[in-house]
């Protein structure tokens, strides 16, 4: 039995055991965490070995005569498997302390079942080698994550979020199915390998359909509307897995489809790049406008998916223009950002989960000052924020650096590619600046300053099983940022599996590029240590006193006077008003003896707004008109069946 | 120093050969010029005060005022707000560290910088972003609404500046095909830029000057001397810093101003005299003119209303963009 399947069996059995043990809460959690954890660890080591020694692996099972299940793990799959298993390992560890309500023991057990199914299904998605296997795994993944989103189903908000997610994932799956249908119609085979022989017009159709389907899973603008609803609803470690890893299966799908079609046309690159720019910029603008910590992180995922797609899109344009360096830099940057985003986004969701656990609220503007009471959470969250803002010497910088280099190489191409690369570079710069604004807002309002509510004042971090994964992830952010030379070859090997037509990608020159980042990081740290030492000397023997913050003469400051997250973001959002309309509810202060008033603001998502008006309402109206078909009369239903059989007899 | 464009990589297969392999290296001369830049940065900032005093009909503070201020601050202790955490102390250190490290990549007076590699422009711009992150974090740490206000503006305007700077880099890259500061600003490289781009480079100079004013919180974006907290950006963010911490912030600000001014200077005076002393002299004189220009701008202009500032900064992006478009039409 190959190790890969052994690890999957371990993981799923780790999900099944709790169903029998749920009466003994701690034992159940221990068994689940240990078994799923062991499975992830095994899968991780197996995938890492496959990636390092370039061992691709394939197997096939026959199941019912026409359908065969076949699996193949190449370097691209192995790269995604590493990401999946690493994040899930830490997430399941985190769940040990996070799922601590003994009253919900059975629910926790069921949650472990679906969690393990989700991990297994994600692993199968990235290793599937034919249409049937892929679709089957994809549906298991979508459904198991749907049940995880509605873990706290008693809340009507969460049920709505779950419903929205189900609709999006099923409509997305229909698009993928349509793409696969076109593939099957032309090749007559369920095998992935047959896709390369399609005519070119069919290839474009397949790619566009698949892009819409996979894009809706990945959270590409404008198909992202489910993300900001589903992520806050799910338990935090599930949000971490969904946002960090599951949406990346959409990216995997896009890259895999591109590889299978084996046609290097700039059209694909243009589509991906434009979608990436739109998701990147709008995602971070909406993130900036959120008041809910987990919603903010969800929108930030849309942004990072955008950054990944910019990288991949530039890679595709490079491949089309036969520019190997540009293509490899673009794809490698995009793939490395997949890994990086998986790491820092799961770190940030875990941090948000800890905040939620300690204060019971996700509202950014009612938190504050948590860094003092939650040191480890605050510090790791800060590191994650620095990394996601793409600042050196942390991991986010490395992948964005590679994408920039690829984009600059594209400036030498023809006019169309030049214009797109200019757009990509400038929007990456804007995304970087906006992400910095967004995460200084989170860090500044949630973790710094004075607590804005009683809950925030009483917050304490607890649970070593929750803290340890965050520390590991924060360390990974620093490690990738300082020593990218160890991680870039992983991405490069995954790129070599893309079949771009370059037999062997020389690793040394690319690693050399990032070697400069290591040296620069050494310079930064050296300079910092020098300044630290200088500061130490300068403060020796000095009087250092503590006093209240300078209130500019005002003597009775309160915590509620602090700048809120909404006010912090207001002027930037004003600039993006056409794309991010603001709705306000503020009765104003009236009369000589004003009554208590309130102020609510919300940034509307234009995709959500127009999808509702243009797609959902007409579709609903159409089906309402067909309501007479569903009358509840069983005799007529049998008549329908008879009619269907007769019609089929004529056609088949 | 920069090693010649790429190390010989004839050993690589053909398609891969053009991957630049510049490595980090250093030279004694670069170190001397770097130290010179760091020592002179406060002096030049003093020049602005002098110019403003001249326009105001005053004698003004001595040219060396900033050295005196720094020395005074370094001698003092500090008062920390009870609201603050360790981030408040980290802020000044990281912003100084970022600005000082950025100077190491700057070709001071056209000499080769201490460090240079392909893509160092990106690193330097993001490094300044790192400094900004920590300055904002230190401001948010105090729980003061004023500092929050300043922080929000500090987070806002540089976004547009970064877009401008990357637009300028795009132009320079299309002109010379390289991606490091030394390739644009060292030796007589700027002259080569002038020769290929010509007049559109004037747009770039104005764009860079606007970015200089914005990034360094000068009039008409911000007023470094005002005492009305509501109208300030950078100064309001550092209200609670004192003693050596405040000295670090000031020094970091001088370095940053020097960095941007040096870039503008190299474009205005693109010549190389192939003698360190002559290069240094020409550079320092023109650099002085750039600082005087900042001082004159500050004396003759009023600060814009806060909601008009983005339009002003966007002008720089438009200039850089049109410079690129015009130049490309020339090239093609």
Q: How high is the pLDDT of residue B18?
A: 42
Q: Which helix (H) or strand (E) holds A69?
A: strand A68-73
Q: Are A205 and A261 in contact (CB under 8 A)?
A: no
Q: Do B12 and A509 touch (CB under 8 A)?
A: yes
Q: Return the residue of A nearest to B160 by Cα.
A: A430
Q: Which residues does chain B have within 8 Å of residue A411's beta carbon, measured at their own beta carbons?
A: 170, 173-174
Q: Return the residue of A nearest to B116 by Cα.
A: A516
Q: Residue A401: which of B101, B119, B148 has the nearest Cβ?
A: B119
Long-range Cβ contacts of B189-194 (<8 Å, 24+ apart): B189/B270, B190/B110, B190/B266, B190/B267, B190/B270, B191/B270, B191/B271, B191/B272, B193/B267, B193/B270, B194/B270
Mind giving me the DSSP string for A521-581? HHHHHHHHHHHHHHHHHHTTT--EEEE----TT-S---GGGSPPHHHHHHHHHHHTTTTS-
Q: For residue A391, give the nearest of A350, A352, A344 by alpha carbon.
A: A344
Q: Residue A324: which of B16, B156, B174 has the nearest Cβ?
A: B16
Q: Do A440 and B21 touch (CB under 8 A)?
A: no
Q: How high is the pLDDT of residue B15?
A: 45
Q: Do B155 and A436 touch (CB under 8 A)?
A: yes
CA atoms lying within 13 Å on the CB side of residue B229: 18
Q: How many CB pairs under 8 A join A and B?
A: 253
CB proximity list for B178: less than 8 A, separation 6 or greater: B5, B20, B118, B184
Residues in chain A with pLDDT values less than 50: none
Q: Residue B137: which of A405, A428, A448 has the nearest Cβ?
A: A448
Has residue B186 been placed in a domain?
A: yes
For the record, the structure tokens of A259 come out as 């590889």
Interface of A with B in 449-508 (CB under 8 A): 449-450, 502, 506
Q: Residue B18: which of A325, A372, A574 has the nearest Cβ?
A: A325
ipTM of the complex: 0.94
Q: How high is the pLDDT of residue A55?
A: 64
Q: How far apart are CA A603 and CA A609, in angstroms?
A: 11
Going by pLDDT thresholds of 50, 70 and 90, the confidence category of residue B2 is: very low
Cα three-residue angle A456-A457-A462, rounded to 5 degrees: 70
Cα distance from A577 to chain B (closest Cα, Å)? 14
Q: Are B279 and B273 in contact (CB under 8 A)?
A: yes
Q: How far apart are CA B184 and CA A628, in angstroms?
A: 73
Q: Return the residue of B nearest to A547 by Cα.
A: B81
Residue located via tokens 């390289």:
B178
Interface of A with B in 61-100 (CB under 8 A): none
Show me where the domains of chain A are located: 264-534
Q: What is the domain range of residue B212? A: 25-331
Q: Residue A523: which of B104, B147, B160 has the nearest Cβ?
A: B104
A404 touches chain B (CB under 8 A): yes
Q: How high is the pLDDT of residue B177?
A: 87
In a mutational test of the B interface, the residue from A310, A373, A385, A422 whose CB has the highest number of chain B CBs within 10 Å is: A422
* CA A244 from centre of chain: 4
CB proximity list for B115: less than 8 A, separation 6 or greater: A519, A520, A523, B24, B25, B26, B104, B105
Count of domains forming chain B? 1
Has residue B3 been placed in a domain?
A: no
Does residue B227 surpass a pLDDT of 80? no
- pTM exceeding the 0.90 threshold for the entire prediction: yes
Q: Are B167 and B217 in contact (CB under 8 A)?
A: no
- For chain A, give percent helix, strand, coil, nearest 5: 75, 5, 20
Cα three-residue angle A602-A607-A611, rounded to 5 degrees: 115
Q: Residue B122: which of A401, A433, A523 has the nearest Cβ?
A: A401
Has residue B8 been placed in a domain?
A: no
pLDDT > 70 fraction of chain B, expressed in percent and rounded: 90
Q: Which helix (H) or strand (E) holds B68?
A: helix B65-75
Q: How far apart are CA A568 and CA A434, in angstroms?
A: 12
Q: How high is the pLDDT of residue B155?
A: 94
Q: Residue B130: which of A391, A535, A562 has the nearest Cβ?
A: A391
Per-residue pLDDT reduced to its tens digit, B119-171 = 999 999 999 999 999 999 999 999 988 889 899 999 999 999 999 999 999 99
Has residue B36 been placed in a domain?
A: yes
Has residue B1 been placed in a domain?
A: no
Rounding to the nearest 10 degrees, give the CA dihedral for residues A156, A162, A167, A172. 160
**Pairing assessment for the beta strands A68-73 and A544-547 based on DSSP bridges:** unpaired
Per-residue pLDDT reduced to its tens digit, B182-196 = 999 988 889 888 988
Q: Which residues does chain A have within 8 Å of residue B118's beta carbon, measured at their own beta carbons?
A: 405, 513, 516
Per-residue pLDDT reduced to its tens digit, B232-291 = 788 888 889 999 999 999 999 999 999 999 999 999 999 988 888 999 999 999 999 999
Interface of A with B in 315-344 (CB under 8 A): 324-325
List the helix and strand counts (H, then E) for chain B: 12, 1
Q: How high is the pLDDT of residue B230?
A: 64
CA atoms lying within 13 Å on the CB side of residue A152: 15
Has residue B216 been placed in a domain?
A: yes
Q: How far apart are CA A271 and CA A176, in angstroms?
A: 17
Q: Which residues does chain A have within 8 Å of residue B71's beta carbon, measured at their own beta carbons?
A: none
Q: Do B123 and A433 touch (CB under 8 A)?
A: no
């Amino acid at each position: 039995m190959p190790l890969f399947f052994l690890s999957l069996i371990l993981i799923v059995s780790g999900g099944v055991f709790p169903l029998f043990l749920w009466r003994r809460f701690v034992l159940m959690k221990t068994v689940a965490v240990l078994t799923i954890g062991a499975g992830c660890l095994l899968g991780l080591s197996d995938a890492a070995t496959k990636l390092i020694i370039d061992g691709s692996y394939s197997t096939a099972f026959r199941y019912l005569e026409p359908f065969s299940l076949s699996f193949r793990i190449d370097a691209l799959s192995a790269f995604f498997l590493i990401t999946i298993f690493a994040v899930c390992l830490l997430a399941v560890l985190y769940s040990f302390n996070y799922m601590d309500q003994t009253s919900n023991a059975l629910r926790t057990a069921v949650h472990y079942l679906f969690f393990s199914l989700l991990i297994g299904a994600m692993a199968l998605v990235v290793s599937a080698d034919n249409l049937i296997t892929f679709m089957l795994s994809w549906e298991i993944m979508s459904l198991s994550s749907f049940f995880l989103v509605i873990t706290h189903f008693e809340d009507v908000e969460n049920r709505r979020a779950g419903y929205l997610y189900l609709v999006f994932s099923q409509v997305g799956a229909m698009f993928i199915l349509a793409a696969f249908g076109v593939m099957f119609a032309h090749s007559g085979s369920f095998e992935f390998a047959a896709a390369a022989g399609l005519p070119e017009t069919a290839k474009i159709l397949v790619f566009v359909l698949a892009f819409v389907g996979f894009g809706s899973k990945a959270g590409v603008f404008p198909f992202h509307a489910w993300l900001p609803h589903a992520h806050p609803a799910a338990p935090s470690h599930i949000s971490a897995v969904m946002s960090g890893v599951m949406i990346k299966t959409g990216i995997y799908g896009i890259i895999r489809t591109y590889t299978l079609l084996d046609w290097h046309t700039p059209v694909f690159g243009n589509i991906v790049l434009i979608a990436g720019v739109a998701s990147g910029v709008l995602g971070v603008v909406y993130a900036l406008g959120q008041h809910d910590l987990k919603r903010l992180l969800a929108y930030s995922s849309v942004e990072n998916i955008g950054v990944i797609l910019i990288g991949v899109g530039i890679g595709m344009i490079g491949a089309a223009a036969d520019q190997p360096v540009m293509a490899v830099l673009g794809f490698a940057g995009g793939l490395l950002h997949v890994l990086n985003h998986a790491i820092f986004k799961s770190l940030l969701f875990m941090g948000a989960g800890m905040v939620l656990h300690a204060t019971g609220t996700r509202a950014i503007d009612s938190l504050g000052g948590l860094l003092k009471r939650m040191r480890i959470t605050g510090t790791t969250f800060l590191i994650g924020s620095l990394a996601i803002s793409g600042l050196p010497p942390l991991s986010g910088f490395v992948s964005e650096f590679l994408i920039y280099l690829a984009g600059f190489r594209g400036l030498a191409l023809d006019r169309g590619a030049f214009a797109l690369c200019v757009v990509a570079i400038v929007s990456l710069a804007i995304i970087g600046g906006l992400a910095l604004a967004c995460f200084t807002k989170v860090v500044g309002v949630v973790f710094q300053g004075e607590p804005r509510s009683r809950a925030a004042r009483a917050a304490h971090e607890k649970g070593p099983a929750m803290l340890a994964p965050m520390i590991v992830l924060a360390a990974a952010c620093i490690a990738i940022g300082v020593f990218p030379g160890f991680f870039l070859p992983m991405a490069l090997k995954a790129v070599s599996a893309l079949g771009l037509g370059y037999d062997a990608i020389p690793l040394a020159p690319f690693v050399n590029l990032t070697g400069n980042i290591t040296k620069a990081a050494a310079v930064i740290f050296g300079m910092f240590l020098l300044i630290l030492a200088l500061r130490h000397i300068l403060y020796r023997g000095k009087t250092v006193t503590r006093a209240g913050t300078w209130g500019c003469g005002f003597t009775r400051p309160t915590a509620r006077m602090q700048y809120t997250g909404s006010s912090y973001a207001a002027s930037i959002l004003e600039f993006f008003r056409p794309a991010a309309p603001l709705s306000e509810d503020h009765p104003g202060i009236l009369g000589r003896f004003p009554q208590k008033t309130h102020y609510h603001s919300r940034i509307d998502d234009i995709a959500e707004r127009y999808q509702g008006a243009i797609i959902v309402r007409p579709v609903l109206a159409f089906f309402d008109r067909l309501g007479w078909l569903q009358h509840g009369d069983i005799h007529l239903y049998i008549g329908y069946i008879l009619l269907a059989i007769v019609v089929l007899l004529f056609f088949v | 120093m920069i090693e010649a464009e790429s190390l010989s990589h004839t050993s690589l297969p053909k398609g891969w050969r053009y991957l630049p392999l510049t490595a980090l290296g250093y030279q004694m001369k670069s170190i001397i010029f770097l130290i010179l830049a760091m020592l002179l940065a406060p002096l030049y900032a003093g020049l602005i005060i002098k110019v403003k005093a001249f326009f105001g009909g005053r004698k003004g503070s001595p040219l060396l005022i900033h050295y005196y201020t720094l020395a005074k601050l370094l001698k003092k202790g500090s008062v920390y707000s009870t609201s603050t955490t360790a981030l408040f102390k980290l802020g000044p250190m990281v912003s100084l560290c970022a600005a000082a490290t950025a100077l190491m990549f700057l070709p001071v007076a056209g000499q080769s910088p201490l460090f240079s590699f392909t893509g160092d422009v990106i690193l330097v711009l993001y490094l300044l972003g790192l400094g900004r992150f920590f300055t904002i974090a230190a401001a948010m740490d105090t729980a003061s609404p004023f500092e929050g206000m300043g922080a929000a503006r500090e987070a806002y305007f540089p976004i547009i500046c970064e877009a401008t700077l990357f637009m300028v880099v795009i132009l320079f890259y299309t002109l010379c095909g390289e991606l490091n500061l030394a390739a644009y600003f060292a030796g007589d490289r700027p002259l080569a830029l002038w020769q290929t781009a010509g007049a559109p480079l004037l747009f770039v100079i104005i764009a860079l000057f606007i970015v200089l004013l914005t990034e360094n919180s000068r009039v008409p974006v911000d007023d470094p001397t005002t005492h009305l907290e509501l109208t300030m950006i950078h100064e309001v963010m550092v209200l609670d810093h004192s003693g050596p911490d405040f000295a670090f912030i000031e020094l970091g600000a001088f370095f940053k101003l020097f960095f941007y001014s040096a870039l503008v200077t190299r474009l205005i005076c693109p010549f190389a005299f192939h003698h360190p002393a002559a290069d240094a002299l020409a550079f320092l004189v023109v650099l002085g003119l750039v600082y005087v220009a900042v001082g004159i701008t500050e004396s003759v202009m009023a600060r814009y209303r806060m909601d008009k500032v983005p339009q002003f900064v966007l002008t720089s992006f438009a200039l850089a963009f049109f410079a690129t478009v015009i130049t490309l039409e020339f090239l093609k």
